[in-house]
Structure 1
């Protein structure tokens, strides 16, 4: 049995991790639990666990320091799965140095994500034990999930704001300084249908190996990033110079033809590829990707690589279903748990394809877009969507088994029905849940400068929506809540007597002691000095 250690200062989270999974089914035993990094190091020395699930922020010694000590002791094991309350990319970036497997957000933690992370950890443990240079291999693999999540959000235009996108790109050291970007959508084809029915693991291994070879080969030939999408599809974002842009079709055709020939020789699979129009800003990458997806219906065995520019305007427009017209409304419906709007959108999309029965691949594309949006924007999205299709052996991926437009519309109807049930059940509770977690976040970061934009980006929702939620589900607005909490903290610091007023003002992020005094008087009805004098009398 592989030993697993839990390092987490919240008892309920410890209990949840212990009970969420039948660990023996995966050859794992929980050897111990610890409430901080100091106890965690002691347990690591005592039990030698191969996997550690650890929180980042804890008293005494945090998870980052604990991982750092482990690596400084030249320990390549255990491998770490990191827990965090929010997507704090600055901390996660630091954690990457210590060969973490994955990170899990506590408020979104579910069984499926936990199992997926643990499976990655088991694979990494095996690599560390078997490979001659495991530290290099695991570092590459652990970083992959962070970059994949970022690029999937970029391709599908799922960032709430340019600020959020820039912030996460900076944390991942992505500068986006290329002169030109070209995006392609790809599908792995011609695998044996028997594999899907008789051996899912063999199909998944085939897909994983194919993607890995493509990733390794293309990066040697040209600057690019390969993004895994699902069990049959992936995307490639190419970064080109001005010189490369001039002959980009010839260059990219040569790179992919060479790569795909090698992949076919190894795995006996073929790849179909469609390219969107070149763009000169990362801001337009989602549009380029949409181009690629829209013309994919025209890719054939005889024309396995297709460029958008090679099509006439009439031809390309005949195959375009513009999902971007619905995207923001779908996201808003998910955020506001609005079943009426969601029903209207599904009806419009279904009507479009009922009248265009020949648009099979575009119907798949539309359904895929809605699926990705649901997984990305709903609480526990992956688990929620999986539950809707739990009766099907292949789950929500049964979409790719549908053979005509009518079947896809039926699949969408099932997704719609399930989503409406979920939205109805969670409408009020989840909104309260968001506000409560935002308040907890503010309370724990009260000494920092907190803005509506920054806090909303942490929770993956729009600033306007967070502001509306606060007004509706709290007794005061967002800014007033922060101000009142800062003043409450100031009163605690003043009572302790170890800091001067200007030091307290600086510590709590006020622009000046004068502004601090002005805000304090507005909240408390007296200046900080008057407050101290009154306090001293009693």
Structure 2
């Protein structure tokens, strides 16, 4: 829907064009009127207009002066000038200032409608060709590293299932790996940043340089780097032959994998020394002993992470190889499970559950947490860590969202903040999960209630002001929403377009007045908000199959006849 402003100092011209355009429903215009340049400027300063139909010569502010303001404030707005006197100089100035069309008031209505349609088509074309797709592509490329990190880190840390990794997804994110075959994992850590390097941007730049060094030395391999924290990263590595062969040869020969593993292990020292020599950045690296199936990567990730954190000797500039005596990577399976739970907690606490899909995902995540905690209720330290991580976030969200506590009356906050009030730790944790689920539901209930209130307020206002201005802009001011968003929200909640509802209510009231009153048709027309009797008659007949007079004759009780 495009917003159109009609500007002229002659009310009869403004109102006539308004009625003309109002009858052209297929144009889907949100129509506004201004009876002079100053009033038009006031409206233009308040909201955006897509098309302006303006007289070129008006007392006070002329159309040409108004055009200058429009070009400055809303450069995409299409301006159509109307004039009663052909003047080459005016036309030349208007066109030079990017006026879209120049129409004589003596020309036909069809000429005006044709110009408006042309403006609408031009707006649509410009929106398609404005470089939005190119800009979106550029922005997507800038966002690729973050998306790569979200997908691959989530998978390695156990918060994203393997099925979330699809070949087309890897391709779209320029991840040079294949899901057909094994993959090797290397984890790294910046042991110490130079003292003068305090800015996050500088550190990110250095991380990029470290990955470039690795790619140069391991150029015979396909390598995807992912930054995990400000000083940690990991690499996923495959022989390039896997990509060259494609999915028809899912597994590289074992001797190819053996060469790749030896090559990677032997090259780690060179990567480490080059980083120190060129970048002055010391690294520690931990590498898997072999390539493994993708489904095994989360477990290897936890083992390598634990091994790198444990370290040896001074704990800096180390190179650890899984399975070698110098780097004991044995990690209890329960520790891997704990790390996965911690990752799930971080994922939960970082989500606002705005969309329905996100809400359903959180339901599944909280249910999974409940199941995964079963073996750890006797581990008091870990239980307290997880319990209060969830409880703290729950209370933060409760306050931040300003959820009505009455909506959570079945949830006792004391029983959330004090696990000792429950018979067992398991009971306490299940109650906590129940509280978290209820919070999400309560927020969703409040959002629905607010939306219903908006719809009810709009309906009530329309019913009580049928003879008033019921433009989208006027109604949006009433509920403090953007006009287009309000219109979409109304349609989503009711299944009816808001302008159609307004028209239906006006016709409903008109039918009542036609049958139950002695008012003349032009009086009824005015009382229900139609601009002209002709337009009122046309819409009434379209909705009822009869003209207002025919409807009166057919339905009015005998005592009124």
Q: TM-score, normalised to structure 1's length? A: 0.39
Greater C-alpha radius of gyration? 2
Q: TM-score, normalised to structure 2's length? A: 0.38
